[in-house]
A and B are shown apart, each in its own frame.
Chain A
Amino acid sequence: MQRRNRWLGAGILALASAVALTACGTGFNSGSGSASGTGLTSSKKPLTVLIGSSGPAETTAVTSAVASWSKSSGTGAKVLAASNLDQQMAQGFASGKPADVFYLGTGALAGYASSGDLLAYGDKLSNKSDFYPSLVKSFTYNGKFYCAPKDFSTLQLVINKSLWQAAGLTNADIPTTWDQLESVAKKLTTGGVVGLSMNGQYERMGAFMVEAGGNLMNADSSKATADSSANVTALTFVKKLLNEGVMKYASAVGEGDGGQALGAGKAAMTVEGNWVTGELSSDFPTVKYTVAPLPSGPAGKGTLVYSNCWGIAKDSPNQAAALKLVEQLTGAKQQLAFSKAFGVLPSIQSAASAWKSANPALVPFLDGATYAQGVPASKGSAAVLTDFDSKLATLATSDPKTILAAVQKNLQATIQ
């Protein structure tokens, strides 16, 4: 009797909770805001902007930019710096109340877009044609241009000036081909210094694949091309440098990344993005460096491009205002201000000449936009890249073809 009562109680509890849950379930989806003529929702509700900030400089710059827009437009807006962007976005989408505007990386686009979380507003942007075409491609999913590129970064060759001069090299020796890269790396490798050092991962060495005419996927990440002969050529070249001892991974010289290896004087050259300038000036203010374009491979110039965009949530009750805010934030004036504050490259072509005259030493990074390629962006490709990176750690002793075949199989699985 007692036992049955207990089960009865448990049953009632379970039933009640199920009822409560379904009640929540319907509550999740109650949309608000009315659709206006443009097909965008519009209301008086204030906007929330969720950013994955690199530090106080970026948070301050974005906050003041959004505040000034809010003042001129009359729409309230507040900026939240996420401590864990992925997690906070996921919570927002699951609850049906996401941030209206947020940072969105290329790797996360496909996942959220296929789940129907995002507003594909790219074609509604008034400054759409101003963005670099390679960036627009990075944020196109299933033929739709989803979101406005916020800014971007490319990889180039960074050289430690004093080590370069100590090896008796001049500006005329800056390598423009793989063979020249190999020969200067040999000259620069001495007792405690390795000629070339970078992170042992696709996110750096992929630049060599592009220079050889390959990449892991095609431009809109709809086809895996990892096992192409161009990629094998690129990895074979890197493997050769590793085995000759003229190149070492940053971890092998005891540093966290190529920039630190260069700054600490353990490497004379590294392949890094434009963020390295901030790292070098804060951690190694006395180290002098030169930025040169990456040397051309068998297929000419090449590098990788990284970018974030301003995502707008489909569930946002005020999409029209969000679009206006994004147009303002991606305008030339605002992007140049962001660039000054935290060292990113403006994503629009009309800001290029002003940026180049302000940053003459870093011009190769911006020039990279014209020949750079993006990284794979299909849903689940991030996990494949992590696995690829772990295999690249032992590239010196393994077969590039075998590694690339496994990547091909895994990438193919992400688009099926």
Chain B
Amino acid sequence: MTTLASRASSGRRHHDGINRGQARSGWLFTAPTLILLGLFLVIPIFMALWVSVSDWNGNGSPFTSAVNFVGLKNFGSVLAGDGLAEQNFGESLRNNAWYVILVVPLQTILSLFLAVMVNRQVLRGRGIFRTAFYFPSVTSSVAITVLWLFLFSQSGAINNVLSWVGINGPNWFNEPSGIIQDGLAGLGVKSGPVFLTGNSFLGVSWWDWIGGPSVAMTALIFMAIFTTSGTFMLLFIAALQNLSGEVQEAAMVDGANGWQRFRFVTLPQLRPTLFTVLTLGLIGGWQIFDQIYTGTQGGPAGTTTSPAYLSYSTAFQSQNWGQGAAIGFLVFIIIVLFTILQRFVLRDRKVSKRRMRLYQLKPKPQELPTGGDA
């Protein structure tokens, strides 16, 4: 909004009467959105920030003299209280971290794969496939959660299919054990080494941190990949259709095979879209709430709580409003940090020397990476 307003007069002299009028109308036209954003976004954020450092108890307005400033006490009890609040927050972070670690890369790869597939000219009935893959994204997440609860119940469709190949499926949404710990238990490692079980971070032992998502959370991870891949597929398709065919043809003339054209020609051009998809995935991943609220309510054994759900239940169910708001801001900080980190990793870099060698003209054509005609 502000960029629009400033663009209206950028690069021109401010004393110019006509342009000043432009700036004014720029503000005028953006005012409705600015007011709405301020009223429903900026102001509530500052209200929540105040609640997170106050002892407001939910009675009346948080802006009265009866509500006191308590500094970082709420943040302290969540991060270092050595009590249940800290342990619950640690568990929710553990759950959500595994969720993000698995969901973001998998959904990005899957959506890119689907986009490349349905973007191929040779594929018949591309429209049908596109609609089919996009369909889960436009369905309400509540409806899909309910569907998932049925599919993954003890006697549900998934376990039925697994039984055809002789696998006795777990009781998905009631199974709190971590899948990595389950795998280790299958190899005979029933309990972790003392240096992992004996030491803890945020009230959760290191053995539990690395235990992997619970079986219940794994079902939710499948669901997230299933529902969001369609959305991101759409973004990738749009980006793919913007790529010019000439670059592809040039690569073909240079003798690059299909995989090389994808890896060294298409993918680098998709970098801005990749950044968008990863950022949206990351933010969405750390905000997981509705699936938990409608599906598991944090169970079994607190292995599907997320910080967002914990913030809600701390505030509305335990009536610890300050702590609930504090958790909300901690999630905000996590998201910002990860986005900055990702921006740093995906920044435009000078082509490295190793990579540069690939593009340099070689005296002999057989020194191409892995030759072959298109």
Which residues from chain A sit less than 8 Å from chain B, CB to CB? 1-2, 6, 9, 13-14, 17, 21-22, 24-25, 28-29, 86-87, 90, 93-94, 96, 108, 111-112, 114-117, 251-252, 254, 379-380, 382-384, 386-387, 389-391, 393, 409-410, 413
Contacts and interface: CB of A to CB of B under 8 A. Distances in A.
B63 A22 contact: yes
Contacts of B317: 86, 382-383
Given A2-B14, A17-B39, A115-B57, A86 B64 contact: no
B121 interface: no
A87 B316 contact: yes
B61 A390 contact: no
Contacts of B43: 17, 21
B316 A86 contact: yes
A11 to B, nearest CB: 12
B318 A382 contact: yes
B87 A251 contact: no
9 contacts: A21-B63, A24-B61, A90-B315, A93-B58, A93-B60, A383-B84, A384-B84, A391-B301, A393-B176
B83 interface: yes
A13 B60 contact: no
A25 B63 contact: yes
Interface residues of B, number: 44
B10 interface: yes
Between B5, B63, B315, the greatest number of chain A beta carbons within 10 A of the residue's beta carbon is seen for B63
A380 B60 contact: no
Nearest to A107: B317
B320 interface: yes
A96 B66 CA distance: 14
A9 B23 CA distance: 13
Q: 4 closest pairs, A vs B, by CB?
A: A390-B301, A115-B57, A28-B61, A111-B319
A389 B298 CA distance: 12
Q: Classify the interface of chain A: helix, strand, loop or mixed.
A: helix
A390 B319 contact: no
A52 B68 CA distance: 32
B302 A387 contact: yes
Contacts, number: 107
A94 B318 contact: no
A116 B9 CA distance: 55
A177 to B, nearest CB: 32
A13 B9 CA distance: 21
Contacts of A116: 57, 59
Given A22-B63, A29-B64, A254 B171 contact: yes
Contact of B38 (A17, A22, A383): A17
Between B39, B42, B60, B64, the greatest number of chain A beta carbons within 10 A of the residue's beta carbon is seen for B60
Contacts of B300: 251, 390, 393
A50 to B, nearest CB: 15
Contacts of A87: 316
Nearest to A108: B319
A410 B83 contact: yes
A383 B176 contact: no
Contacts of A409: 83
B342 interface: no
B158 interface: no
Contacts of B62: 94
A311 to B, nearest CB: 13
B57 A96 contact: no
Contacts of B61: 24-25, 28-29, 94, 96
Contacts of B176: 390, 393
B6 A6 contact: yes
Given A384-B84, A387-B87, A410-B84, A90 B63 contact: no
Interface in B283-317: 298-302, 313-317
Contact of B60 (A29, A252, A382): A29
